[in-house]
């Protein structure tokens, strides 16, 4: 059966890391590459570099120097209306229909440092974004095939962080965030692909801070990057194909996120 490989990667500036994207695309050959935090406007996107590795169809939601998301595909894509989750109108969501599957690529707000919406508007924005996700995806839970990917900036499970106890008061793993994300998954009828692919007790990380002197040795990571499949899409997911590409967190000028991939049977 033909496979459709989808990869999600917070690239942390696509222009700075275009060569890394090209090398990754040559080695791993994703059919669909979803990028977050591209940090450029659409006209500044390094389209030529993507075309050179066969990713010729691109949908971009860009923003000057901040945020920004893109979907690059080997197959023709139809850009579709993105859900309205961001109250500030940031370029945080792009959506496309590819080979009969809807793909939503999200970059959820990080939320700042203080986990109190009364004191920190960035955290209030994040919680509002989650509430909009919950309502929006609940409304289309019985809809056609949908894959949601992206940097959701929340590590929902105890085994998605290096220390559940020490991070309970740290933005990205506070109960109000993790409970909110789990409601989105539940009401949207999603399968969290990573947690179906791995034992519940296995530590899984996709992000490691730049502040660590040796990120691999200290291994104080968090699983902030996600791939979900709704009920219509879940049967097509090849669970055993799920990968966290750890090597991409190392090397020269890496993003602080590793890409994640899964294959669909199409």
Q: For 54-110, what is each residue's pLDDT tens digit?
A: 999 999 999 999 999 999 999 999 999 999 999 999 999 999 999 999 999 999 999
Give the chain's mean pLDDT. 97
Q: What is the dihedral of CA 76, 80, 83, 87, to 10 degrees?
A: 100
Mean pLDDT value across residues 110-124: 98
Cα gap 155→40, rounded to integer Å = 26
pTM score, whole prediction: 0.98
Listing DSSP states for 88-113 in one string gives T--S-EEEEEETTEEEEEEE-----S
User: What's the chain's length in residues?
Assistant: 266
- Alpha helix (H) residue ranges in the chain: 18-28, 47-52, 121-139, 175-188, 193-197, 215-218
Is it the case that residue 43 has pLDDT exceeding 90?
A: yes
> 2 pLDDT band (50/70/90 cuts)?
confident
**% residues pLDDT > 90 (the chain):** 98
Helix (H) or strand (E) holding 32: strand 32-36
């Amino acid at each position: 059966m033909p496979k459709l490989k989808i990869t999600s990667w917070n690239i942390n500036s696509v222009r700075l890391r275009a060569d890394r994207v090209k090398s990754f695309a040559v080695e791993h050959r994703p059919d669909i590459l979803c990028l977050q935090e591209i940090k450029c406007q659409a006209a500044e996107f390094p389209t030529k570099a993507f075309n050179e590795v066969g990713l010729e169809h691109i949908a971009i939601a860009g923003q000057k120097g901040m945020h920004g998301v893109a979907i690059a595909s080997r197959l023709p894509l139809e850009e579709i209306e993105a859900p309205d989750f961001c109250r500030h109108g940031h370029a945080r969501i792009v959506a496309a229909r590819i080979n009969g599957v809807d793909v939503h690529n999200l970059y959820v707000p990080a939320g700042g440092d203080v986990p109190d919406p009364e004191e920190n508007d960035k955290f209030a924005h994040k919680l509002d974004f989650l509430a909009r996700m919950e309502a929006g995806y609940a409304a289309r839970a019985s809809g056609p095939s949908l894959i949601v990917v992206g940097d959701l900036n929340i590590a929902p499970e105890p085994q998605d962080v290096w220390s559940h106890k020490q991070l309970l008061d740290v933005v990205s793993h506070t109960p109000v965030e993790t409970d909110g994300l789990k409601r989105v998954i539940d009401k949207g009828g999603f399968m969290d692909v990573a947690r179906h692919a791995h034992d519940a007790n296995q530590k899984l990380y996709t992000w490691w801070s730049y502040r660590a002197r040796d990120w691999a040795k200290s291994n104080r990571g968090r699983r902030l990057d996600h791939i979900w499949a709704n009920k219509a899409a879940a049967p097509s997911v090849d669970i055993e194909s799920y990968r966290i590409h750890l090597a991409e967190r190392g090397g020269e000028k890496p993003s602080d996120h590793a890409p994640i991939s899964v294959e669909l049977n199409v």
